[in-house]
């Protein structure tokens, strides 16, 4: 088993890399061989051998997140040497051991249940919640889509051939929107949720403990596996 892990850190976000990488090495399926694909405009010096840098210029908001499917595709040929691909936001940290049994299943894709949806926070308490529903966007949900779970864009992945197909399709849909001056409500997350809603039975759903929100941890009735850090005052970054 070989796992490719994706990190995007342009601008100041490259500062998250050292602790992000160490937490993945220590806690993310520790017995599995991992290689890290780092997309950044920063200079990487003295990094471990299992980090492969890809130059990515910083794009203005929201394009740096919206167009991530496009620039992650630059590594598609290298992903072919792996069994699984996993994207983890730069401002996440693995704080408890993630086992192979928890992460790898017979499903094609991996997603994480958005904590706000799980807890029933607005706007998730009523349909359509945070799902895109403007028909002019390719991310717009339909009545045929399974919207029982809303996924957070901070963690996603799956088996390599299927993830490569997903990247190609979501890049195409995003560009289709842009060609018509349309941007999905929650950018790449909206596109991912549409894709997963169309093929819900193919998605392995990780619980919200894999996207534990440090900024409102007092509302969470679950323990963290992977923490989404409070950027300005995180106890995990001290």
Q: Give me the CATH number covering residue 98.
A: 3.90.550.10
**pTM for this predicted structure:** 0.95
How many CB atoms sit inside 10 A of residue 238's CB?
5
Burial group, residue 31, by CB count within 10 angstroms (0-12, 13-18, 19+): exposed
Looking at the structure of the chain, the number of domains it has is 1
Residue 45 pLDDT: 87
> Would you report the helix, strand and coil content of the chain in percent, each value rounded to 5?
40, 20, 40
Residues contacting 166, CB < 8 A, separation 6+: 109, 158, 195
| CA–CA dist 96, 180 (Å, integer) | 44
The tens-digit pLDDT sequence of the chain (238 residues) is 999 999 999 999 999 999 999 999 999 999 999 999 999 999 898 899 999 999 999 999 999 999 999 999 999 999 999 999 999 999 999 999 999 999 999 999 999 999 999 999 999 999 999 999 999 999 999 999 999 999 999 999 999 999 999 999 999 999 999 999 999 999 999 999 999 999 999 999 999 999 999 999 999 999 999 999 987 766 665 5
Residue 101, phi-psi category: left (phi > 0), alpha (psi -120 to 50), beta (remainder)? alpha
| CA–CA dist 213, 187 (Å, integer) | 20
Q: Which parts of the chain fold into alpha helices (H)?
A: 17-27, 63-66, 68-72, 76-79, 100-103, 115-119, 160-179, 187-198
How far does the chain reach from its first CA to its final CA, in angstroms? 33
Residue 150 pLDDT: 98
Please work out, in degrees rounded to the nearest 5, the angle formed at the alpha carbon of residue 173 by the alpha carbons of 9 and 139: 90
Residue 57 pLDDT: 96
The beta-strand segments (E) located in the chain are 2-8, 33-40, 51-55, 84-88, 92-94, 109-113, 151-159, 203-206, 212-213, 226-228
Q: Which domain holds residue 220?
A: 2-237
| CA–CA dist 37, 127 (Å, integer) | 37
| CA–CA dist 91, 66 (Å, integer) | 17
């Amino acid at each position: 088993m070989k796992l490719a892990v994706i990190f995007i850190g342009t601008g100041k976000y490259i500062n998250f890399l050292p602790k992000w990488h160490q937490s993945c090495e220590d806690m993310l399926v520790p017995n599995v061989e991992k290689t890290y694909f780092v997309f950044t405009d920063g200079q990487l010096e003295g990094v471990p051998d299992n980090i492969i840098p890809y130059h990515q210029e910083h794009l203005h908001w929201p394009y740096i997140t919206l167009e991530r499917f496009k620039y992650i595709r630059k590594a598609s040929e290298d992903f072919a040497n792996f069994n699984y691909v996993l994207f983890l936001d730069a401002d996440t940290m693995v704080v408890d051991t993630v086992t192979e049994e928890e992460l790898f299943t017979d499903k094609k894709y991996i997603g994480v249940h958005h904590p706000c949806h799980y807890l029933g926070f607005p706007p998730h308490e009523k349909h359509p919640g945070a799902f895109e529903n403007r028909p002019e966007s390719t991310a717009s949900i339909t009545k045929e889509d399974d919207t029982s779970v809303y996924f957070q864009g901070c963690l996603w992945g799956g088996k390599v051939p299927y993830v490569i197909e997903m990247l190609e399709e979501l890049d195409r849909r995003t560009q289709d929107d842009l060609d018509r001056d349309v941007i999905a409500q929650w950018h790449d997350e909206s596109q991912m949720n549409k894709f997963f809603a169309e093929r819900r039975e193919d998605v392995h759903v990780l619980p919200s403990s894999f996207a534990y929100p440090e900024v409102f941890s007092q509302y969470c009735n679950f323990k963290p596996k992977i923490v989404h850090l409070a950027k300005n005052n995180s106890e995990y970054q001290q």
